[in-house]
Amino acid sequence: MQTITYREALNQALAEEMERDPDVFLMGEEVAEYDGAYKVSKGLLDRFGEKRIVDSPISELGFAGLGVGAAMVGLRPVIEFMTFNFSILALDQVLNSAAKMLYMSGGQIPMPIVFRGPTGAALQLSAQHSQACEVWYVHAPGIKVVTPGTPADAKGLLKAAIRDPDPVVVMEGELLYNVKGEVPDVEDGDFVIPLGKADLKREGGDVSIITHGKMIHTALQAAAKLEKEGIQADVLDLRSLRPLDVDAILETVRKTNRAVYLEEGWPYAGVGAQIVSIIQEEAFDHLDAPVIRVTQADVPMPYAKNLEQLAKPGVDRVISACNRVLYRN
């Protein structure tokens, strides 16, 4: 085991897959000479050259489309969005070209492409730079979406995404890049985490906190506090939103009969709404309480420190949601 940052884990994943497959290339803003806005691609330009590590103009729609076109003829592009906030400009190429190409062509044109970058809020970046963008992508069939929350998951899932024959959106987190964690050594060979497998990050039994992405850390903190009050919480990290590990969701809910969904984004038609819908349909008789969702405040992200803190879903809100589904105080 090596202890490395989430950033380093992504960097290793990119490097290993580029070594393995000459058809893999990385394109995006500042990925080459600048080592990436968040330094995820540090050193890759020197190692793989400017043919495979490519600085793009600030043309999200254009370079996303270019990536899709390259994938149409068999390359395996990794397209980096500096942040997913800017990917909204490219959404047409992802939803209408990438996600539908295989279908419209009757199976003739596979679309092995990865779109990656940080999603969600960092610190005081204000309304236009603090959006959790999962929903724009996961809503559409033809796309797969993964949201690693730890270094190990980041490495294993990005490698799987690059090898996947379908378009995979890999959503990272600016606040995750410095997070350290254990990751299998490179020597120990190929470390890949299959898409579609959730991970029970904490074993409890009284209540299920289900979440994804960087929120797993908030969930774990909440679970630790709850433990002090004598409550044992399962913390289920979906890791992959599509494919979705429904079995794991149902298993924890059938065990605890109480669930809270925690996500960084907005509530209306959020990921949590989908999970709640699945739970109430497929574990109806197992629920002792409604599933409660904890999300960002339903407002654009404000700049002011205090307002931003209020807007974000925090540990306390998770705890009181757990208390609600446990009918405590």
Partner 1 sequence: MAGTKTKKKAADKEAGIDRFSPDQLRHFLREMLLYRRFEEKAEEAYAIGKIGGFCHLHIGQEAVALGFIGPLRKDDYVISAYREHTQALAKGVEPNIVMAELFGREGGSSGGKGGSMHIFNADQGFMGGHGIVGAQVALASGMAWAIKYRGGDQVCVCFMGDAAVNQGAFHEALNMSAIWKLPVIYVVENNHYGMGTAFSRVSAVPVVDRAKGYGIPAHSVNGQDILETWAFAEDLVEEVRGGAGPQYVDAQTYRFKGHSMSDPVSGTYRSKEEVQEKTERDDPIRLLRDRMYDAEMLDEEELKEMDAEARKLVDEAAEFADASPLPDPSELYTHVYAEENPHGRLYFDGRERPGQEA
Separation CA 48–CA 61 (nearest Å): 25
Separation CA 309–CA 302 (nearest Å): 9
Count other C-beta atoms under 10 Å from residue 176's C-beta.
Answer: 28
254 sits near partner 1 (criterion: CB under 8 A)? no
Q: How far is the CB of 14 from partner 1 (least distance, A)?
A: 17
Residues 21-40 vs ligand TPP: string with x where CB under 6 A?
A: --------x-----------
**Whether 255 contacts 208, CB under 8 Å:** yes
Hey, which residues between 113 and 152 contact partner 1 (CB under 8 A)?
122-129, 141-142, 144
The count of chain residues that interact with a second copy, using the rule CB under 8 A, is 48
Closest-CA residue to 16 (of 180, 165, 166, 160)? 160
314 sits near partner 1 (criterion: CB under 8 A)? no
276 binds, among a second copy, ligand TPP, partner 1, none (CB under 5 to 8 A by kind): a second copy
Closest-CA residue to 40 (of 148, 150, 134, 117)? 117
15 sits near a second copy (criterion: CB under 8 A)? no
Separation CA 113–CA 271 (nearest Å): 23
Name the residue nearer to partner 1 (CB basis): 55 or 227: 55
95 sits near a second copy (criterion: CB under 8 A)? yes
The count of chain residues that interact with ligand TPP, using the rule CB under 6 A, is 6
Helix (H) or strand (E) holding 26: strand 24-28
34 binds, among partner 1, a second copy, ligand TPP, none (CB under 5 to 8 A by kind): partner 1
**Whether 297 contacts 306, CB under 8 Å:** no
Side-chain half-sphere exposure of 14, counting CA atoms within 13 A = 32
212 catalytically annotated:
no
**Catalytic one among 60, 80, 263, 308?**
60
Hey, which residues between 5 and 34 contact partner 1 (CB under 8 A)?
25, 29-30, 33-34
Hey, which residues between 52 and 81 contact ligand TPP (CB under 6 A)?
58, 60
* Contacting residues toward ligand TPP, per CB under 6 A: 29, 58, 60, 82, 86, 89
